[in-house]
Structure 1
Amino acid sequence: MSQPAAPLAAIAAALRRERERVGISLAELARRAGLAKSTLSQLENGTGNPSIETLWSLGVALGVPFSRLVEPPAPAVRVIRAGAGPRLRADHADFAAALLAAGSAHARRDLYVMELEPGQPRDAEAHIPGSVEHLVVAAGRLVAGPDGDHVELGPGDYLAFPGDVPHHYEALEPGTWAVLVMEHS
């Protein structure tokens, strides 16, 4: 059998590691995440191709940040050039993010650069309990925040809101990008 590609192998190992850490069966994790057991089995074997939404659901079910499932261990010094780094794309929105740094076991925070284009809003499910999102707009304009409490933001504006409830991002201008810090308690 051929070896899975590097990102899929890292995701497979992380899923197995986190599921075993929590002490639950494959069937139980599949139930909690709303997935078929066969789908989860493929992911843990490195033969599946998970969407961002699937990985978020698994992170919530395991009680870990999304980054814990996709980020390999980081070296002591790390440089990610503009436009490089692991790119994440949503299935149903013109939304891309690059995970720049994942929190350690003691500092549970993730740092992203998000790129958004108008016309395709990004609706995000609730993340693990205690999550807080910190957003700074670098260019363009966008609307963001928890459902029912969206705020319009421009360059330099900062927004913090609970990430453990459904929330929304929508670009109002082409070329919109922002820095997002997800903090997990």
Structure 2
Amino acid sequence: MAPNDAPTATIAAALRRERERAGISLAELARRAGLAKSTLSQLENGSGNPSIETLWSLGVALGVPFSRLVEPPAPTVRVVRAGDQVRLRADQADFAASLLAAGSTHARRDLYVLELEPGQPREAEAHIPGSVEHVVVAAGRLSAGPAGELVELGAGDYVAFPGDVPHHYEALEPGTWAVLLMEHR
């Protein structure tokens, strides 16, 4: 998959929409997410380049799924070609996530493709309350789960664990990739 730029216009519009829906100021959202107000202002103006960690923090602060901040409105029939996926990279791990489908207000779930390489593990913060992560490994091997309950998975293996607690992803082989279904209850 060829890397694509983060969808800055979509993110900017979604941040403004969700912040206004929550009825909070730019300064208050920045405080809740642990960001500088100037950083948030740049993101809302479409001039920032957010990492996965920044967007997760904003989603948690707003009480919305990550996907609501990055997913443009979808047509009734939607095809995502492998080379056209928008890949967002982690700051501190060789970890990329591509959102394939976001849930509606009635079906709160998001579908991702994860690409991982051995090296620095992805240490994820807790997501919104009630989140559950469902992972199926497609190729390679990985270690995943909440702290203290990590499991090793190979191709074809499945695990489900709470996403609303700090958790971990680590590739154990080069070329590891998995499908993640994030459920928001």
Q: TM-score, normalised by structure 1?
A: 0.94
Cα distance in 1 between the residues matched to 2:8 and 2:33: 19
Give the Cα–Cα distance (whole angstroms) in 2 for the partners of residues 9 and 172 of structure 1.
35
Q: Distance in 1 between matches of 2:154 and 2:84?
A: 24
- Residue 33 (structure 1) aligns with: 33
1:15 — aligned with what?
Answer: 15
Range moving further from structure 2, 79-88 or 120-129:
79-88
Q: Report the aligned-residue RMSD.
A: 1.3
Q: Which runs of 4+ in 1 moved over 6 A?
A: none
Tell me the equivalent position of 2:102: 102
SS class of match (2:168): strand
Separation of aligned partners in 1, 2:174 and 2:17: 40
Question: What's the secondary structure of 2:7's corresponding residue?
Answer: helix
Question: Which residue of 2 is the match for residue 147 of structure 1?
Answer: 147
Counterpart in 2 of 1:162?
162
Q: Which amino acid aligns with 1:164?
A: D
Q: Residue 134 of structure 1 corresponds to which residue in structure 2? A: 134
Q: Structure 2 CA distance, aligned partners of 1:16 and 1:37? A: 14
Contact 2:6 2:86 in 1 (8 A): no
1:37-56 mapped onto 2 (5 Å cutoff): 37-56=37-56
The amino acid that maps onto 1:108 is R
Counterparts of 2:171 and 2:83, CA distance in 1: 19
Count, aligned residues: 181
Q: Return 5+ residue gaps in structure 1 as ranges.
A: none
SS, match of residue 97 in structure 2? strand
Deviation at 1:20, TM superposition (A): 0.7
Q: Which amino acid aligns with 2:136?
A: V
The one-letter code of the counterpart of 1:149 is E
Instruction: Work out the CA distance in 1 between the residues paired with 2:47 and 2:83.
Output: 27
3-state secondary structure, aligned to 1:28:
helix
SS of alignment partner, residue 39 of structure 1: helix
1:150-180 superposed Cα distances (whole Å, 9 cap, x missing partner): 0001111110000001100111111111110
The Cα offsets for residues 49-95 of structure 1, whole Å up to 9 and x where unpaired, read as 21111111000000001110011011111111224311111111111
Identity of aligned residues (%): 87
Structure 2 spans left out of the alignment, 5+ residues: none
Q: Calculate the TM-score normalised by the size of structure 2.
A: 0.94
Paired with 1:83 and 1:166, the residues of 2 have a C-alpha distance of: 31
C-alpha distance in 2, partners of 1:21/1:157?
39
